[in-house]
């Protein structure tokens, strides 16, 4: 146990990603046996952050994570961004899909009264949807990735880990392979929100729950067959366009024109990758 604790303290970020996979992918076995509805336990990254913080930083580290999860005092505009951005982007993709000839399900249009309870379920109950991934990805990993890298480089690294984390869902056919592009673009956009919302994980959990509600539970079921595949690619394209605009307008260093990127220190023994960057440097 002491060896594991020592290794975790020397390589906390590495330990986090290993644990994030292990504490999420155990569900893949149960899913294959028909005993679990999903091949991923979505709260795995959150549990990984708790374990690593308990071993490396103790009470102070855990309290820091919980404070980020409860940080609600941010500019009201970022609440609107969190709730409305997924709606606007998904609706845009659906509109383009219909213009290209897709036939949406009329029955699904009547499901809108279920949006609010679905949103609350995804936001408040760990294991339903992806909101409870965020204390791990954004609450723990991102500030440490951004400690020695620009916000854009940190986003690209995090996107790679998150994309690979979704592998069981792709193998099971629950998400389309267009999600590789979608994840890359969405990580950049979500990190832009995170840095501008002063590191509030709460805002990001709201955004994730809103996206899963609007995209996954409302618009996506409207389409089937080739129309569904086209919707997936159009959604990825729309997010990619927004990601490019975010980089161009906010800059790659902080993904914010107003605030410095959120940063947390790592021990000197943790691999640096691209190394530190000056405050005013680019990528």
Give one DSSP letter per residue of 166-179, joined into a string: THHHHHTTSS-TTH
Q: Is the dihedral of CA 146, 138, 15, 212 positive or negative?
A: negative
User: Cα Rg for the chain, rounded, in angstroms?
Assistant: 19
| Tokens describing residue 16 | 């986090």
What are the per-10-residue average pLDDT scores of the chain (283 residues)? 74 96 95 91 96 95 96 96 97 97 84 89 87 97 96 98 95 88 97 97 97 93 94 97 98 96 82 41 30
- 47 assigned to some structural domain: no
Q: Is residue 60 part of a domain?
A: no
Angle at 216 between CA 32 and CA 238, to 5 degrees: 120
Q: How far is CA 271 from CA 79, 88, 142, in A?
A: 35, 39, 15
Distance CA 24, CA 42 (A): 6
Identify whether 32 is part of a domain.
no
> CB-based contacts of 199: which residues, under 8 Å, 6+ apart?
68, 71, 143, 262
- CA–CA dist 210, 135 (Å, integer): 16
**CA–CA separation, 27 vs 48, rounded Å?**
15
Question: What pLDDT sits at residue 1?
Answer: 58
User: Does residue 78 sit within a domain?
Assistant: yes
Q: Which domain range does residue 88 map to?
A: 74-250
Count of structural domains within the chain = 1
CB neighbours (10 Å) of residue 191?
A: 29
Integer Cα distance of 219 and 223 in angstroms: 8
For residue 109, tell me if it sits in a domain. Answer: yes
Q: Please list, in sequence order, all residues whose beta carbon lies within 8 angstroms of the beta carbon of residue 182, skipping any fewer than 6 positions away.
A: 232, 235, 236, 239, 240
Residue 282 falls inside a structural domain = no
Q: What is the pLDDT of residue 258?
A: 94
| Residue entry with tokens 């308990």 | 54
Closest CA to 122 of 48, 210, 203: 210
What pLDDT, on a 0 to 100 scale, did the predictor assign at position 8?
A: 83
């Amino acid at each position: 146990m002491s060896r594991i604790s020592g290794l975790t303290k020397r390589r906390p970020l590495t330990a986090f990603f290993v644990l994030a996979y292990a504490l999420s992918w155990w569900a893949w076995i149960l899913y294959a046996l028909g005993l679990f509805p999903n091949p991923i336990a979505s709260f795995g990254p959150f549990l990984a952050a708790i374990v690593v913080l308990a071993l490396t930083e103790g009470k102070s580290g855990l309290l820091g994570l919980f404070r980020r999860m409860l940080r609600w005092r941010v500019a009201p505009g970022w609440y609107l961004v969190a709730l409305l951005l997924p709606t606007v982007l998904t609706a845009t993709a659906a509109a383009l899909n219909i213009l290209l000839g897709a036939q949406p399900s009329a029955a699904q249009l009547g499901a809108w009264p279920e949006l609010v309870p679905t949103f609350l379920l995804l936001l408040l109950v760990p294991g339903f949807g992806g909101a409870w991934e965020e204390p791990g990805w954004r609450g723990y990993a991102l500030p440490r990735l951004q400690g020695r890298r620009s916000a854009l480089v940190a986003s690209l690294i995090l996107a790679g880990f998150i994309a690979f984390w979704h592998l069981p869902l792709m193998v099971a056919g629950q998400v389309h392979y267009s999600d590789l592009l979608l994840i890359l673009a969405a990580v950049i956009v979500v990190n832009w929100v995170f840095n501008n919302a002063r590191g509030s994980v709460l805002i990001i959990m709201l955004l994730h729950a809103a996206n899963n509600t609007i995209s996954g539970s409302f618009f996506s079921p409207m389409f089937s067959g080739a129309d569904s595949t086209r919707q997936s690619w159009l959604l990825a394209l729309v997010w990619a366009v927004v990601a490019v605009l975010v980089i161009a307008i906010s800059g790659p260093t902080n993904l914010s024109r107003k605030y410095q990127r959120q940063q947390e220190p790592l021990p000197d023994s943790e691999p640096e990758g691209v190394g530190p960057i000056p405050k005013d440097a680019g990528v």
